[in-house]
Amino acid sequence: LSRDGLRDVPLVRHPGYDADAFWAPDGKSVVFTSMRSGGLGLWRIRVDDGKPAGPPEVVNANIGRSFPLGLASDGSYYYALRTGMVDVYTAELDPATGQVLGKPLPLSERFIGSNMQPGWSPDGQYVAYISRRRPVGYDAVVIRSLKTGEERDILPKVRFGGSGPLLWFADGNALMVTGYDPKKGGVTYYRLDLNTGDVTVLLASAAGKLTQHPGLSPDGKTIFHGFRDAAATVRTSR
């Protein structure tokens, strides 16, 4: 984008995942991350007069599960590497003593290390969880049958946020999911219809007013949540 706002030129046109663009110190190229080589890689494209000067070039084909920290003045690229794994496990408990019986086992064999935020259905027959399908962001809500092991993916058009479990409505046909709007910087609670995949807004945070740690009443008519004023750093509950 030119400084006067009159010219806006795309540098990269590709159907794959491209993100995290940084200018090189000399202003003659832009580096960015991309999955066009399979794993998450680091690429560079030369820029002349605000326009691409040739095709992108690979710098490092696979930098692992990482997120960028920035470019130093000498051109060094700094990034943080995610090495841990997060997953959903189940374990059998002794109801009388509360002791774990046996070794906890992964709930699913798909996308190992990328599954989180499980929530039990009201009848105890299903588990819903979020499965991350890209280096950033959570892409799918998965409904797993404990009886058959069958899994169904739902891809709602929201950017997931929060860290608590998915919350089921009493009829078992919908979930309350937490979304994050990067433009507004706020959290929104949605009702996700498990039959259609449609989402409707239940509660949206005002700018600078952050909600957290939600709970859902048994009748599905009331949301309980923490509340934080980002400016005043005051925390309350509602």
DSSP per-residue string spanning the chain: --TTSS----S---SS-EEEEEE-TTSSEEEEEEEEESEEEEEEEEEETTEE-S--EEEES---SEEEEEE-TTS-EEEEE----B--EEEEE-TTT--EEEEEEES-SSSTTBEEEEEE-TTSSEEEEEE--SSSS--EEEEEETTT--EEEE--SS-B--SS--EE-TTSSEEEEEEEETTTTEEEEEEEETTT--EEEEEEPPTTEEEEEEEE-TTSS-EEEEEEETTTTEEEE-
**pLDDT above 80 (res 2):** yes
Mean pLDDT computed over 42-50? 94
In 3D, which of 212, 211, 191 has the Cα closest to residue 202? 191
Cα–Cα distance, 218 to 154 (Å, whole number)? 24
Mean pLDDT computed over 6-26? 89
pLDDT-above-90 percentage for the chain: 41
Q: Which residues of 18-32 are buried (b: 16+ CB within 10 A; e: fewer)?
A: bebebeeeeeebbbb
Residue 180, pLDDT score:
72
| Contact indicator for 111, 133 with CB cutoff of 8 Å | yes
Residue 43, pLDDT score:
95
pLDDT classification of 209: cutoffs 50, 70, 90:
low
CB atoms < 10 A from the CB of 33, how many?
24
Residue 125, pLDDT score:
94
Strand partners, 76: none
| Contact indicator for 175, 167 with CB cutoff of 8 Å | yes
pLDDT classification of 19: cutoffs 50, 70, 90:
confident
Q: What is the pLDDT of residues 105-132, one digit of tens each?
A: 999 988 888 888 899 999 999 999 998 8
Provide the residue type at 156 as one letter: P
Mean pLDDT computed over 87-103? 90
**pLDDT above 90 (res 236):** no
Q: What global pTM score does this model have?
A: 0.62
**pLDDT above 70 (res 54):** yes
What tokens does 166 get?
């998915």
In 3D, which of 70, 80, 69, 67 has the Cα closest to residue 25? 70
